[in-house]
Structure 1
Amino acid sequence: MAVVREFTLPDLGEGLTEAVIVQWLVEAGDVVAVDQPVVEVETAKAMVEVPCPYGGVVTARFGEEGAEVPVGAPLVTVAVGAVPDDLAASGGAPPVPAAEGADGAADSGSGNVLVGYGTSASAARRRRVRPGTPAGPGAGASAESPQAPASAAAGPTGSRADAAGAAAAGARTVAVISPLVRRIAREHGLDLQGLTGTGRDGLILRTDVESAIWALRERETAAAGAALGAGTAAVPGEERIPLRGMRGAAAEKFSRSRREIPDATCWVDADATELLAARAAMNVPGAPKVSLLALLARICTAALARYPELNATVDTATQEIVRLPAVHLGFAAQTDRGLVVPVVRDAQNRTVEELSAEMARLTETARSGGLSLAELTHGTFTLNNYGVFGVDGSTPIINHPEAAMLGVGRISAKPWVHEGELAVRQVVQLSFTFDHRVCDGGTAGGFLRYVADCVEQPALLLRAL
């Protein structure tokens, strides 16, 4: 006998309380395996696929693509044990052995539902239930017209499922193909449900979204002007961008860092000519390429081994400095969705070649929006290569709750006194921003001077191997 289980948006961790549905990966009537991803969502941290802990037939989906859903809201209902034998025999997801739950009903769930950390089971390929094939109660329900079975509302979350089903039943299908159109609408807080497209069959085009955003901003500007009074009239054509998603999360972290951390910055110019020569010597034909950022990362881990007090955080609740045993090195990466800081785990144990490969992988994943929460959180030190923007120096904001950040400017040809002679050398400015609660200027200066010495004489790194 099939038992309908409701799967809700799980706890996202890191203080996240909601997510936006980006793309459904299953439809009502699909057969899913335990731990198979059923929906892709976007949080303030990343875009992740959410695995369902139940195996069976999807009977209903809740929420349109582009809708924001809170943690605990229903995502899908699954008829556990409703997979037809012919589908199981022909390669569909097999029924999962049932176990008696607390309510006496057959249950099947993995519990692997933490967003961003993946699952331990590989997902079987999906098979759509053929029309007319009995597949348990409510198998024909869809996101656009979810006819959730009565048993789906029998559990402790039944009232929530009823409300979600009723809301979704009155919603129309949004005719949008382009993910870019959805992203533009989401970033500007535009509800696509109320928009009529000018494309074929009502398809919503980019021009439709941009026109609607313009009209929405004009109305908001007029309303703001009326509310503020005649003395503060609104400026025609001004644009208001909501601080939501990743942009909002970054803004909050920057503000918190400035509020809580008494930071200071010191900087030094260094001759990077020998470092560039060392990198060129490493990148011989046929060998894996080593990036300059990876070399700088290796220098950072060597410097932190000498100055471990900088690989730390401050526990404000207990008023204690917490020195951390491992270096989880974050590095700033600019993407179309904003600034992100992927984290290389246990960077102190990796070679330059390993650091280069991992940083390249994380950067590519960040640009595609696929970083997990595990790859974005719990860093202990950050490397910020703002030189890629063509600037020489900066005083970056510390990545809260870390205690320090090394900044690297552009490397450019400049006149430099080398071995007593004026020469043209490749010079870089290094800046070091640190939490003054964790160390004094002597420690910070010693760290930065060691980094600069390694940049100028890469052979010094041999001492740390």
Structure 2
Amino acid sequence: MTIATARQVFRLPDLGEGLTEAEIIEWKVAVGDTVEIDQIVVDVETAKAVVEVPVPYAGTVMKLHADTGAVLAVGEPLIEVAANEPAPAAAPDIDPAAARYREEEQAGSGNVLIGYGTGHTSGRRKRRRSSRVPTSDKTAATRQTPDQHAADRQAADVRAVDRQAGGHQAVDVQDFGRDAAVPAPQSSSSSVEAEPSHPPRVISPLVRRVAREHGVDLAAIRPTGPRGVILRRDVEQAIADMRTPPVAPATPLRPSETTERIPLRGLRRAVADKLSRSRSEIPDATTWVDVDATRLLDAKNALQQARPDLGIGLLAMLARICVDGLRRFPELNSSVDTGRAEIVRYGHVNLGFAAQTDRGLVVPVVRDAHLMTTAQLAAELTRLTGLARSGGLPPQALTGGTFTLNNYGVFGVDGSTPIINHPEAALLGVGRIIDRPWVIDGAVTARKITQLSLTFDHRVCDGGTAGGFLRYVADCVENPAILLADA
């Protein structure tokens, strides 16, 4: 058997990219589980993406410091692990709860960079339950019933509550989880729900203090802990019941009458902050034009038929056009440094593109797009889109953009006045492509028409430059052969 010898507290690591907090999305382990170095223990959501967090320690999980949905700051305790060591041969029946614990941080695998593992192993390991049966009881353990296993589990929870409160009240741990030392209950169906025959049993001094501060009568509380132990959640529920007056049954509200409050955090908060800053700092203006995209669609179809292996779609071709337009109108590939009162004009193009995911709108960035061919752009757009939809985008893939392309036509809308992705200086929006009447050589005919809209920072250029860029993009959409002039 093993005994826990030391507690190791793993704190939320530095997330990088200026991120200071993360929300707990899903725990992969529970109290009592055995974990190994580099095992993924939790998924967290930052303002950039959902990432997996590996633990740098091996041992038994003693405590999860945050519930699902909680928001932790970098450096706050995340999970507590007790290292396991072989028990002395002379004392095979030592109960794990009798071992001495001390809270300290020790070096594990060393590297706890979020989203990249800790350097020893990769992938997820199967969760394993730590043994709670002494060596001398192995024969009896094979005959344990599910109820006896549940009692063992409840006993561990009681000991965890006592340790969490920091109390020093003596507790006979032999009274929990070992049915051989406990008289059989009078009724097997009322071990938890029946009212205790003894005074209220409270192990944790913290529970007593909370009850005393809020005037809660412990004798009136129905315990939910094992063997009639009153837990902290029981006291908190009693406090909530005291504050909530009884309400007579009423007819359920219709959806239109229901008010819901949704916390603004994580990705939604990051988007809100960026868009609010864009609106408050950037004096933007929008210009748009209707264009005939028939030839662009024809070129796309021809490429897909001739080279289906390249996977070139409409977004890749629009990206190629934007990059070429920015080469001709570099004023729009810039940002404004308000602190130094300077316009920063970039020599590279990091092209961001809006991608809708289950978590909301994200803008992955294709770095050095100006060095890529159309086929390379298509491959990178496909890769980043897949990562965005799976929640696997690393933080650095969402920063550093110099210009954004937004194909909002996929939502079935014709036009928009998009908000600039701060701190960039411009954003091109593309509406849906539909059949419309169009005049060619004096004759009305049906063509594939779309609307292009350009929102730009009026501090970096005037309407003439913005109009010139938009007109060039429109000309390339109507006649993609223009791109071959400087290819």
Q: How does 1:374-389 map to 2 (within 5 A)?
A: 374-389=396-411
Larger Rg: 2
Q: How does 1:34-49 map to 2 (within 5 A)?
A: 34-49=37-52
Q: How does 1:35-434 map to 2 (within 5 A)?
A: 35-55=38-58, 57-79=60-82, 82=84, 107-114=107-114, 116=115, 121-123=120-122, 125-126=125-126, 128=128, 130-132=130-132, 147=160, 237-284=258-305, 286-419=308-441, 421-434=443-456
- Any unmatched runs of 5+ in structure 1? 85-102, 135-139, 154-165, 174-192, 196-210, 219-234
Residues 318 and 24 of structure 1, relative CA distance in 2, 3 Å threshold: same
SS of the equivalent of 2:416 reads coil
TM-score normalized by the length of structure 2: 0.66
After TM superposition, give the deviation of residue 257 of structure 1 in Å.
0.5
Give RMSD over aligned pairs: 4.0
String of CA shifts for 1:241-270, please: whole Å, max 9, x gaps: 443333232222211111000111111222
Give distance in 1, aligned partners of 2:131 and 2:54: 26
Tell me the equivalent position of 1:87.
none
After TM superposition, give the deviation of residue 172 of structure 1 in Å.
8.7
After TM superposition, give the deviation of residue 317 of structure 1 in Å.
1.5
After TM superposition, give the deviation of residue 48 of structure 1 in Å.
1.5
Taking only the aligned residue pairs, the percentage that are identical comes to 57
SS of the equivalent of 1:326 reads coil
Does the CA-based 8 Å contact 1:40-1:50 persist in structure 2?
yes
Give distance in 2, aligned partners of 1:313 and 1:379: 10
String of CA shifts for 1:31-56, please: whole Å, max 9, x gaps: 54544322101233322111234455
Give distance in 2, aligned partners of 1:20 and 1:237: 26
Residues 440 and 300 of structure 1, relative CA distance in 2, 3 Å threshold: same
String of CA shifts for 1:64-84, please: whole Å, max 9, x gaps: 22333232211123456x477
Residues 62 and 323 of structure 1, relative CA distance in 2, 3 Å threshold: same
Work out which of the residue numbers 17, 22, 33 in structure 2 matches 1:19. 22
SS of the equivalent of 1:393 reads coil
Is 1:6 matched up with 2:27?
no
Q: Which moved more, 1:408-417 or 1:429-438?
A: 408-417
Work out which of the residue numbers 434, 452, 460 in structure 1 matches 2:482. 460
After TM superposition, give the deviation of residue 445 of structure 1 in Å.
1.7
- Any unmatched runs of 5+ in structure 2? 87-103, 135-152, 167-205, 211-222, 226-235, 239-248
Give distance in 2, aligned partners of 1:358 and 1:327: 14
Q: Which moved more, 1:57-66 or 1:235-244?
A: 235-244
After TM superposition, give the deviation of residue 142 of structure 1 in Å.
12
Residues 449 and 62 of structure 1, relative CA distance in 2, 3 Å threshold: same
